[in-house]
Chains A and B, each alone.
Chain A
Amino acid sequence: MTDYLCQLRNELRLDEPLSAPEAARDRAYARLEALMATKVGAGHRVPRRRAALGLALLIAVLIGVFAIAWTTVQPFGLHLFSGSHGPRISETAREAFALEPRSPTGTIDLDTIEPAGSFTLPQGQVTVYVARTRTGVGWATVYETGSGRVVTGCSTRLSPEFLPFSSSGCTPRDTLPGVSEISGLAEPPVASVTLTFEDGQKLLLPLHHGVFVYLQGGERCERGHRPALLVARTAEGEELGRTEGPFDC
């Protein structure tokens, strides 16, 4: 090693032993193991041929157009779950959270996964799960269709200064046409988050480890019925924050 590098190592005492914590190593391996268990890990090659991609895109567009047309006549049937009530969290959904690619500080805390809601699409019923990041200032959603297909939902990371209340809108258009997600964080002293629609109806949004999720679709995408206002309040009813719409699909 170059002379001054040795000097630098000595200066900074870089030869002192340093061991990785077992817990970190276990978490890292669990994440890798989850990846190994997927198709990517099982050695399947992703088709790369341009023609196949073009065909897949065409089919996706056709399905999208068909799905949008279908959702205008089919009830959206949204049901929001409170707390951990709702369907059991599937292994596929859990894996999807474990593999969620995002910035390093935003790894998902798998202990916070909860079912947030379900709705109906032409492909069948879709269940939405939500979880917070380990650093606590972000969240992500995963959508699972009845056939067990899991698609990445939305993910958001915030700076802590946006707490105790923040919201964001996201449209997983590529995978779920006609559906839009309104989600956000509500930390104490925020005790409730209410969504008011253009037609005057109100909905109290359940909180999942401080995250609220509303899925907009069906008639709630139509002018006059869209979500129009999000308000965060304390237990005493004092308003702490608001986001004004209307929100579009």
Chain B
Amino acid sequence: MTDAEAIRRSREDAELFRPVFERHYDPIWRYLRRRLGADLADDLASETFVLAFRARRRYEPRGESALPWLYGIAANLVARHHRSETRRLRAYAALGALPADELDTESLLGRLAAAERGRSLAEALAALRRADRETLLLSAIGGLTHEQVGEALGVAAGTVAARLHRMRPALVAAMTSTSMGALS
């Protein structure tokens, strides 16, 4: 049974929503863990599926997989933390050190801290607009295609491509200072 079919049938038999949870809990949790760290990942992953279940009547499948739709719900939850994420990125870019409560090596900030020149990347990420950052990180962390990111964020695939293209110079510059010549 595909996700689309499971969600459609779960409108009458709620139990049929279970396969959607089983298939997609892990990637959603991983995305949230990378974005916001361990403390919030558990709660937000749970919240994502509760919201998805409540919204299942409004779900309009674009493909067989509901994963982009679920990423979209998760991205909306992450958006509530946009300002604090920006603040943390800027603080790290400026100081080059993480406070004790940010030492989560799996989170985005932890990964940046472990990278060779994470500070320049942190600065570049902090400077992104919310929509751009969501687009970039759904692509990079979630591994979604342009079409899937578009489905998640409710924009056209062309918009996703345009956003990624627009962000390229700043990100490339930040990474070039990390590993000279890697992109040449």
Which residues on A are within 8 Å of B, measured CB to CB? 1-5, 7-9, 11-14, 18-21, 24-25, 27-29, 31-32, 35-37, 40-43, 45, 99, 104-105, 107, 134
Contact (Cβ within 8 A) A4 B183 = yes
Answer whether residue B98 sits at the interface, using C-beta atoms and an 8 A cutoff.
no
Task: Specify the chain B residue showing the minimal Cβ separation from A11.
Answer: B115
Contact (Cβ within 8 A) A12 B53 = no
Jot down 28 A-B pairs with beta carbons below 8 A, ordered by A. Answer: A1-B143, A2-B168, A4-B168, A4-B183, A5-B140, A5-B164, A7-B182, A7-B183, A8-B121, A11-B115, A11-B175, A11-B178, A12-B112, A12-B140, A13-B111, A14-B34, A21-B42, A24-B45, A25-B26, A28-B42, A28-B49, A35-B50, A36-B14, A41-B14, A41-B53, A105-B39, A107-B46, A134-B43
Q: 7 nearest interchain CB pairs? A: A28-B46, A41-B14, A36-B14, A20-B29, A24-B42, A12-B111, A104-B43
Contact (Cβ within 8 A) A4 B172 = yes
Considering only residues 126-174 of chain B, those with a C-beta below 8 Å from chain A are: 136, 139-141, 143, 164, 168, 171-172
Contact (Cβ within 8 A) A14 B111 = yes
Task: Specify the chain A residue showing the minimal Cβ separation from B28.
Answer: A20
Q: Which A residues lie within 8 Å of B77 (CB)?
A: 104
- Tier of interface size on chain B: 35 or more
Q: Which A residues lie within 8 Å of B29 (CB)?
A: 20, 24-25
Assuming A28-B25, A104-B77, is B139 touching A5 (CB within 8 A)?
yes
Which residues on B are within 8 Å of A, measured CB to CB? 11-15, 17, 21, 25-26, 29-30, 33-34, 39-47, 49-50, 53-54, 57, 77, 80, 106, 108, 111-112, 114-116, 121, 136, 139-141, 143, 164, 168, 171-172, 175, 178-179, 182-183
Contact (Cβ within 8 A) B121 A11 = yes
Contact (Cβ within 8 A) B45 A32 = no
Q: Which one of B14, B40, B164, B179 has the highest number of Cβ atoms from chain A below 10 Å of its Cβ?
A: B14
